[in-house]
């Protein structure tokens, strides 16, 4: 009698991502709380370490204490590894090294790994993942070498580690820095090499792998893809909005750029307009921003970077679809068009789902965090929550004042923002296997607006 083998149950890609990030965060938190990780040689509170590990793995950058002052060289190295893995995606690392070692991966495994980037990755997974890792490391090395020309003369051997740390942090849009030794990154606000190197790293990480993959292979394709054109256009628009806002609203604000000469005002306004949306590396204290600037930056942080990038937010492509939908409805068009392309229904439905779930998550987190610190202005709390959800890293000091409950809420907010609300919900939901494709439902209309 033949033996029937039971069909093995495969875990959903979303659940693998969620559990993978959770494991990495717990390992990182456990290492950071050890005496070897702190400069004092004592154990660090586990909740603070969990917050820091989550912020690093989710490439957020919000901290409850200064990285250089609190952590030893070992602890700083742990944080560096966390945001390197979190920025590039741990599945990209696993897949790349499996290919490198010649191990075979099933189709479901390739699909899982590709899900962290794009469905197009299924076409050539080996080549895509190899390029993601190799090009990313090459870009980070280039940035580190440029920073070494400044940091090695200033800090000696430690300047080598500083350069690597800051280059990787900027490229991964992580927002962490070890500039406490120099009094903060603001001490280099007048140094073009440091500012423009970090700016280049942040930009390369924020536009996403698919964009620079397209640009690198432009000679073969002879065209920029639809995705690339959308990302470049929307990134340029949002960067311009941020620059105009910061340069005009903060021009006379001595707490930000008011005391700088005109060339430095322009340079730091450009830097902040790109960094504030995705990276959170700031040359001045964002708590000194005017209320108007905080509002605009909060909205831009919520939008964030491009898909398949090291940045967070609902993504610039989501904002493009929402804008195109509004314009098409106002014009009375039946279809949604962007740059001469008609959008598929699935893309529109997914955009609506991402937008609704993201707003819901931000509101719930805002209510919970504000209840923990009712004495802090609501605008600052909202700024902090959106920064955490969008993995931007700009902080107004709210997180440092939170109790255990508030920090755990921010941990969940950062994790949801990094993986995406759809991924989180899918990982928690039990799918119904019953199919209803043949079931005919009545079609009707509903009054809207």
State the residue for tokens 């717990």: 26
Pairing of strands 341-342, 337-338: antiparallel
pLDDT in tens, the chain (449 residues): 444 444 444 455 667 778 888 899 999 999 999 999 999 999 999 999 999 999 999 988 898 988 999 999 999 999 999 999 888 876 566 556 655 555 554 444 444 444 444 444 434 556 667 777 888 899 999 999 999 999 999 999 999 999 999 999 999 988 899 998 888 888 999 999 999 999 999 999 888 887 887 888 777 777 888 888 999 999 999 999 999 999 999 999 999 999 999 999 999 999 999 998 888 888 998 989 999 999 999 999 999 888 878 888 888 989 999 999 888 888 888 888 888 888 888 888 888 888 999 999 999 999 999 999 999 999 999 999 999 999 888 889 899 899 999 999 999 999 888 887 776 666 566 555 555 555 666 766 666 66
The pLDDT value recorded for residue 86 is 87
Whole-Å CA distances, 377 to 11, 285, 387, 392, 400: 43, 17, 16, 20, 15
pLDDT at 96: 60
Helices (H), 304-428: 316-331, 345-372, 378-389, 404-419, 421-428
What whole-number distance in Å separates Cα of residue 436 and Cα of residue 203? 45
Instruction: Provide the pLDDT for residue 20.
Output: 82
With 0-12 CB in 10 A as exposed, 13-18 as middle and 19+ as buried, what is 442? Answer: exposed
Determine the Cα–Cα distance for residues 182 and 155; give it in Å rounded to an integer: 9
Write down the pTM of the prediction. Answer: 0.85
pLDDT of the residue at 120:
46
What is d(CA 304, CA 437) in angstroms, rounded to the nearest whole number? 37
Cα 378 off chain centre by: 24
- How many residues belong to the chain? 449
Report which of 343, 310, 38 is spatially closest to residue 173, judged by C-alpha positions. Answer: 310
Got the DSSP string for 16-72? HHHHHHHHHHHHHHHHHTSGGGBTTSSPPPHHHHHHHHHHHHTT----SS-HHHHB-
Distance from C-alpha of 320 to C-alpha of 333, rounded to nearest angstrom? 17
CA 47 to chain CA centroid, nearest Å: 22
Residue 37 pLDDT: 95
pLDDT the model gives residue 125: 57
| DSSP-derived 3-state class of residue 397 | coil
Return the exposure string of 292-326: e unless at least 16 CB atoms fall within 10 Å of the residue's CB, then b: ebbebbbebbbbbbbbbbbbbbbbbbbbbbbebbe
Q: How far apart are the C-alpha atoms of 316 and 174, rounded to whole Å?
A: 18
Q: Which two tokens stand for residue 383?
A: 């700024």
Residue 116 pLDDT: 46
What is the reported pLDDT for 1? 46
Measured CA to CA, the distance from residue 434 to residue 201 in angstroms comes to 47
Q: What is the pLDDT of residue 449?
A: 63
In whole angstroms, give the CA distance from residue 118 to residue 126. 14
Q: Which DSSP symbol is given to 338? A: E
């Amino acid at each position: 009698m033949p033996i029937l083998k039971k069909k093995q149950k495969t875990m959903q890609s979303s659940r693998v991502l969620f559990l993978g990030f959770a494991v990495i965060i717990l390992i990182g938190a456990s290492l950071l709380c050890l005496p070897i990780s702190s400069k004092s040689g004592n154990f660090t509170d586990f909740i603070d370490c969990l917050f820091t590990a989550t912020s690093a793995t989710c490439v957020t950058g919000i901290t409850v204490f200064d990285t250089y002052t609190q952590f030893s060289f070992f602890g700083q190295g742990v944080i560096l590894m966390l945001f390197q893995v979190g920025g590039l995606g741990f599945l990209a690392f696993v897949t790349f090294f499996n290919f490198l070692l010649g191990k075979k991966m099933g189709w479901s495994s390739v699909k899982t790994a590709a899900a962290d980037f794009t469905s197009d990755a299924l076409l050539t997974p080996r080549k895509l993942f190899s390029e993601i890792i190799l090009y990313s490391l090459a870009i980070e090395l280039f940035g580190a070498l440029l920073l070494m020309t400044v940091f090695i003369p200033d800090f000696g051997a430690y300047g080598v580690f500083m350069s690597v740390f800051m280059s990787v942090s900027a490229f991964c849009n992580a927002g962490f820095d070890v500039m406490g030794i120099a009094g903060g990154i603001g001490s280099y606000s007048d140094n073009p090499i440091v500012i423009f190197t970090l700016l280049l790293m942040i930009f390369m990480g924020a536009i996403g792998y698919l964009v620079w993959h397209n640009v690198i292979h432009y000679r073969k394709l002879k065209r920029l893809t639809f995705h690339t054109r959308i990302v470049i256009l929307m990134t340029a628009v949002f960067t311009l909005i941020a620059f105009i806002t910061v340069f005009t609203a903060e021009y006379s604000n001595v707490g930000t750029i008011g005391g700088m000469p005109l060339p430095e005002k322009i340079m730091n306004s450009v830097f902040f307009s790109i960094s504030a949306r995705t990276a959170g590396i700031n040359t001045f204290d964002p708590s000194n921003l005017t209320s108007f600037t905080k509002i605009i930056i909060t909205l831009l942080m919520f939008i964030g970077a491009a898909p398949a990038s090291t940045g967070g937010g609902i993504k610039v492509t989501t904002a493009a679809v929402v804008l195109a939908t509004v314009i098409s409805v106002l014009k009375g068009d039946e279809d949604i068009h962007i740059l001469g392309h008609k959008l598929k229904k699935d893309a529109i439905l997914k955009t609506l789902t991402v937008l609704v779930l993201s707003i819901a998550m931000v509101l719930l987190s805002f209510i919970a965090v504000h209840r923990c610190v009712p004495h802090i202005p609501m605008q600052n709390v909202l700024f902090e929550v959106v920064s955490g959800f969008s993995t931007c890293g700009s902080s107004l000091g709210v997180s440092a004042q939170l109790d255990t409950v508030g920090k755990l809420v921010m941990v969940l907010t950062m994790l949801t923002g990094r993986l995406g609300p759809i991924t989180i919900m899918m990982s928690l939901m039990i799918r119904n296997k019953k199919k209803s494709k043949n079931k005919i439902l009545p079609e009707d209309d509903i009054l809207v607006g």
